[in-house]
Amino acid sequence: MSTNLEKKSLSDFKGKKVISVVPSIDTGICSTQTRTFNHELANLEDTYVITISVDLPFEQARWCGAEGLDKAIMLSDYYDYSFGKSYGLLMEEWHLLARAVLVLDSHNKIVYTQYLENVNSEPDYISAITALKAIQ
């Protein structure tokens, strides 16, 4: 669900994608991850940076406004955890998503993944960005 309370799916975004999955946007590492991918990739053509968490859409919108990331795409999985369940990222005991990065080509084929066992670790930004830029 978008910050405008619209249901969204991958097919709504035509192009390459970095899906940045974070437990909660209001934590330091999650904020850093979201800022880093948006700053590094915001100007690439045919590319979307999509951050997904279980934060309420209103919280995601507030965070983007406070950070000055007015073009950031934030999606919330709070309602039914369908994304987290589909991708094996739901940490059921905490009702949060595990930290992960997925890079998809324009046909939504996954070309790079990083699942972090420790949610207190940052992802490998360089490898994800390199994988994205290698897509033809």
Determine the Cα angle at 103 with ends 102 and 104, to 5°.
115
> Residue 76 and residue 44: Cα distance in Å, rounded?
24
Determine the Cα angle at 38 with ends 29 and 64, to 5°.
75
Known active-site residue 64 = no
SS3 for 64-131 is HHHHCCCCCEEEECCCCCHHHHHCCCEECCCCEECCEEEEECCCCCEEEEEECCCCCCCCCHHHHHHH
Catalytic residue among 1, 25, 30, 132: 30
Active site residues: 30
